[in-house]
Structures are given as C-alpha cells and as structure tokens.
Amino acid sequence: MPAASVLFVCTGNICRSPTAECVFRTLVARSQLGAQIEVDSAATHDYQLGEPPDARAVAAASRRGYSFGSRAARQVQVDDFRRFDWILAMDRHNLATLRLLRPRAYRGWLGLFLDLAPQLGVREVPDPYHGEDKDFERVLDLTERGAAALLEVLRVRLPPAAP
C-alpha cells in the first residue's frame, strides 16, 4: 500500500491532468519513490471518457522526454475520495465541482495543484484545449514546477525508507 496517493483533476482528463500525472509520475520514478506514491488523473466531466490524451499534449510532453504510456480518460468517482490523500484540481471551476462531490468523511487534501507552488504567482493551470501548441508548452512549464513542489511536500511526509 502506498504511503501517499495523488489524483490530478481537470475537465476532460485529456490535457492538463494527464500531463500532470505523467510529469509527476516521472519525478516520482526518478526519485525512486514509485512504491510509496500512487499517481492517477481523472475528469470532472464526461466529455471525453475513454479517449487517449490529446495529441498536442503528448507531442509537447514527448519533446521534453515524458511518455504518457497507455491511458484513457476517466471521470472522478466517489471512491477516489477514499483512494487518494491528495486530490489536486487544475483550476477553480474543477475544484468547485470536486467540492460538491466530496463526501463529508473525506480527510485528505483537496485544493488547487499550483497552490503548492505559490512562488509561481499563478493558481490555475490554463486549459490549452482550444489553444495553440504554445499553450501546451505553458501547461508543461507550470506542471513541471508544480510537480517538483508537490514532490518536496510529500518527501517530508513520507515515512523513512527501510534500511
């Protein structure tokens, strides 16, 4: 059982949240913490369920050495509030939706992903879906910095590795 679990959430789960999942999963693996941290992503809406990540997101990530692997968009389920200690929304709209879905018993951290990186001066990851390639690059810029900040927060909270 992982010591920490993180769920990234955006509207359709084909651009921002799978990008955050991919970047964070890569950082976790590089830090040799894969056995201690579970990572996933999901959507608040059912617009693109079952679809692969947006080709523009995949191309932008690939240029930086990231791989999405095989994944399909899925929607947040009530069970996710049991499974994940950290549920991180990409923007305020998705956070508001998640707050409506949150069971009263949920004791994890529900908030904006970029609130973990206040030095960025930005609280939301903008949706690149109707934008251009540069918008997907901007998502990666923010995600890389947010993911690094999240990993530092989790490192402090993880139990020490066994000798």
Active site residue 10: yes
Q: Is 40 an annotated catalytic residue?
A: no
**Catalytic residue at 133?**
no
Q: Exactly one of 15, 16, 54, 91 is catalytic; which is it? A: 16
In angstroms, the CA 31 to CA 29 distance is 5
The active-site residue, picked from 85, 91, 127, 138, is: 127
Q: Are 43 and 76 in contact (CB under 8 A)?
A: yes
| Paired tokens of 145 | 């910095």
What Å distances lie between residue 96 and 27, 110, 112, CA to CA? 28, 10, 10
Q: Is the four-CA dihedral 68, 74, 79, 81 of positive or negative sign?
A: positive
Quick one: 98 exposed, middle or buried, by C-beta within 10 A (0-12, 13-18, 19+)?
buried
Helix, strand, coil percentages in the chain from 3-state DSSP, rounded to 5: 45, 15, 45
Residues recognised as catalytic:
10, 16, 127
